[in-house]
Amino acid sequence: MAEPEATQTDRAPNPRGAASPGDGPGSLPPAGRLSPRSLAIWAAVALVGAVGWGVLALSRGEEISAAWLLAAALGSYAIGYRFYARFIADRVLKVDRTRATPAERLDNGVDFHPTDRRVLFGHHFAAVAGAGPLVGPVLAAQMGYLPSTIWIVAGVIFAGAVQDMVTLFFSTRRDGRSLGQMARDEIGPVGGAAALLAVFAIMIILLAVLALVIVNALAHSPWGVFSIGMTIPIALFMGVYLRVLRPGRVTEVSVIGVALLLLAIVAGGWVAESSWAEFFTLEKETLVIWMIAYGFIASVLPVWLLLAPRDYLSTFMKVGTIALMAVGVVIAMPTLKMPAVTDFATRGDGPVFAGSMFPFVFITIACGALSGFHSLVASGTTPKMIQKETQVRVIGYGAMLTESFVAIMAVIAACIIEPGLFFAVNSPAGVIGTTVQTASEAVTHFGFAITPDALAQAAKDVEEASLLSRTGGAPTFALGMSEIFSSVIGGSGMKAFWYHFAIMFEALFILTTVDAGTRVGRFMLQDTLGNVHKSFKDVSWKPGVWLASAVVVGGWGYFLWVGVKDPLGGINQLFPLFGIANQLLAAVALAVCTTLLVKSGRLKWAWITGVPLAWDVAVTLTASYQKVFSDDVKVGFFAQRDKYRTGIDAGKVLPPAKNMDEMHTVVTNATVDGVLSVLFAVLILIVLADAARTCLKAVADPGSVRLSEVPWTESKIVAPAGLLASAEEKAELAAAGLDSGGGRVKEPVA
């Protein structure tokens, strides 16, 4: 079924008499006053959060329980979701429950498909929650637990979750158009072209980086390969079950799917100790080929068959494990051993990553608080599957809060282990050496103490030959998780099991981002090519589907393949751009959202996305400036290039290079990274300038505003707005003869 062209509409009333495109006839009324009971409950929630923040803020060097960090975060999340997210949905966006979404109007069973909001929440969360919330906060713990916690919680409530929800809303109003295409349609051809180029280039880099993390985690791991591989046939079964065998039976298929998933995880351990282990022990190059093939297949198959059920299944694993970690924290009450703020926060010479707290702690944390990648999913697969506009709050805002909670658990995992062990694990070999003796001496120089015997014992406890310089964040998260779980279940003798379980869990966590990201990249490329050839505007057009999917997997697959073959090549060359590129992408999304708020007559609410935009631009452009112009070779790309070029002239080989050829590679990498940093920053500035021009024009001459929003069409679907139906929604479902999953109503309900 071909997707129709988005029609140009002005701000005239819609057919049902709404005041503007944002004020649909089914817009929810402002929330009424709280009942005394509700008021008491929310006052208690606020008090829990406030006490948690108070304890964190007032501690002066003493160790405090990680449970206080948990209380501060959960209390804040609950208040943010209940009040701020509802305010944005009801008052600012004015979500319309009577308006048909593109999933309903364009349902073709391939890319457009109305999906139960519980399954879609699982898909959306699994698609956006990649390496960032697990890795970034762990690395940022170098600065202490307090800066990370403040930004993760405040950032998600006022920036990250807002971006995701607002982007999802506006894309849903535009037949699920991609972020770059919305920029072109609403900002203009110049800013739009810059956005399309920047977004697609950054997308390829992000996917290749995430894929590299998975390859490194699964290489020579038969347990991980088997368990994760089994999620594919399980997901196919779940897709057929929901579509053909037992339509709408989400609870049934969830129970079956989770049981099969747990069996696959346990069986992975059996396989690893059996004669089959050799078959599932794969080299990195083999994993790359399998991942490229899987990414392509997941991109072209109907979304209900593999992608949505697999992401939904993975969410049980992701959320379930993180929730158990939180319960473990409450039971074991581990203390935060990392200082609240370390000296590295002010000095900027940390061994894990160089740079001062501002801006680099915000760049490093990335996805746990604000992620540009999320906007691609929110304008990619999700708006083509959402049943009702009223669900943007739970799916857009709620899924991002859940990811932020993952980031909080990563902070806890990093900060409950001894700081000396943290820095020994996360510092490169060039800084701490390759033996436990040299590592102990180096860590002592940092201001933290750990003995060589303690380092050796930590590795022995998790059955690793060494934990030194296991950089990247994943091993540290696994250490923290094993510490928590072994304190509750099995004691120290189970540390090795929980450590390797965590490594497998992280690979599963990230893989769902790669397959969904590939499909999103396909949509983005098809939207772009649709500006040249109209057939591509139908994102389910078979030739376009296959061509665009091949280009996207070919792009990230190439960088991944070269990166696996060459430690200094391929995606390894672009890895340093990951954090900044992701945050620059968020600037594009927030700029598009702010422009749309202004153009659609919501000028007084433009600060909702405008303030986060201003902060993100300040952070990312400062980081870009320092990466380009800093004289510190640990920070500045061109400073690093000059250092290695001088070494080449002097005939010296500097680490990490091992020979003169690698010295030349380092020079090339630093030059490419520096040039791309400049290019991305310039493209973002073009987008911002054109967005500002468009906003000023809309304010000065409202009559000239043109929106690419599709006309209002009445919805025939009845479905709850949240994961749990309210009393009113249950009555509406019952009147329509539907269960809690909702569905399409063929005849009007009296």
Q: What is the CATH number of the domain that holds 607?
A: 1.20.1740.10
At 339 the three-state DSSP class reads coil
- Band of the pLDDT at 747, cuts 50, 70, 90? low
Report the DSSP beta bridge partners of residue 718.
743
In a domain, 666, yes or no: yes
Residue 181 forms part of a structural domain? yes
Tokens matching residue 59: 């501690």
Peptide bond into 359 cis (omega under 30): yes
Residue 634 neighbours by CB distance under 10 Å: 14
Number of domains in the chain: 1
Condensed to tens digits (0 to 9), the pLDDT of residues 254-304 reads: 889 889 988 988 888 889 889 999 999 999 999 999 999 999 998 999 988
Q: State the average pLDDT for the chain.
A: 88
Q: Is the pLDDT of residue 455 over 60?
A: yes
The torsion angles phi and psi of 106, rounded to 5 degrees, stand at -110, 20
Whether residue 31 lies inside any domain: the answer is: yes
Highest mean pLDDT pick, 63-67, 154-158, 457-461, 486-490 = 154-158
Enumerate residues 6+ apart whose C-beta is below 8 A from 50.
Answer: 75
CA distance 442 to 421: 11
Whether residue 735 lies inside any domain: the answer is no
Closest of 370, 346, 342, 364 to residue 356, by C-alpha: 346
Lowest-confidence region among 64-78, 145-159, 516-530: 516-530
Residue 492 has pLDDT above 80, yes or no: no
Residue 403 has pLDDT above 70, yes or no: yes
| Cα–Cα distance for residue pair 11/22, rounded to 1 Å | 9
Span 539-595, pLDDT tens digits: 888 899 999 999 999 999 999 999 888 888 788 888 788 889 899 999 999 999 999
Average pLDDT over residues 175-203: 89
DSSP string, 235-277: HHHHHHIIIIISTT-HHHHHHHHHHHHHHHHHHHHHHHTSGGG
Query: What is the tens place of the pLDDT at every residue in 421-444?
Result: 999 999 988 899 999 999 999 999
What pLDDT is recorded for position 1? 36
What pLDDT is stored for residue 375 in this prediction? Answer: 94
Contact call for residues 391 and 107 (beta carbons, < 8 A)? no
CA distance 298 to 68: 41
Dist. CA 203–CA 126, nearest whole Å = 17
Q: Does 269 map to a domain?
A: no
Backbone angles phi, psi at 509, to 5 degrees: -60, -40
Of 16-20, 50-54, 282-286, which gets the smallest average pLDDT? Answer: 16-20
Query: Which pairing describes strands 743-744 and 717-718: parallel, antiparallel, or unpaired?
Result: antiparallel
Over 90: is that where the pLDDT of 690 sits?
A: yes
Provide the pLDDT for residue 247.
83
Q: CA nearest 211: which of 547, 560, 495, 508? A: 560
Q: Residue 242 falls within a domain, yes or no?
A: no
Give the count of beta carbons closer than 10 Å to the beta carbon of residue 653.
Answer: 14
* Whole-angstrom distance, CA of residue 447 vs CA of residue 444: 5
Mean pLDDT of 495-523: 82
Query: What's 144-184 look like in SS3?
Result: CHHHHHHHHHHHHHHHHHHHHHHHHHHHHCCCCCCHHHHHH
pLDDT grade for 32, boundaries at 50, 70 and 90: low
For range 238-266, the mean pLDDT: 86
**Predicted local confidence at residue 746, as pLDDT:** 66
* Cα 244 from Cα 543, distance rounded (Å): 27
* pLDDT tens per residue across span 715-730: 999 999 999 998 899 9
Which pLDDT belongs to residue 615?
97
For residue 183, being part of any structural domain is answered with yes
Distance CA 160, CA 369 (A): 6
pLDDT at residue number 196: 84
What domain range includes position 600?
A: 9-220+282-704
Confidence of residue 25 (pLDDT cuts 50, 70, 90): very low
**Confidence at residue 516, expressed as pLDDT on a 0 to 100 scale:** 84
Confidence of residue 8 (pLDDT cuts 50, 70, 90): very low
Do the domain assignments include residue 714? no
Consecutive H or E run containing 437:
helix 436-446
Tell me which of 589 and 194 has the higher pLDDT: 589
Is pLDDT at 465 greater than 50 in this prediction?
yes
CB count in 10 Å sphere of residue 347: 10
628-655 average pLDDT score: 93
The conformation of residue 73, written as its DSSP 8-state character, comes to: H
Residue 282 half-sphere exposure, CB side, CA atoms within 13 Å?
A: 21
Report pLDDT for 314: 83
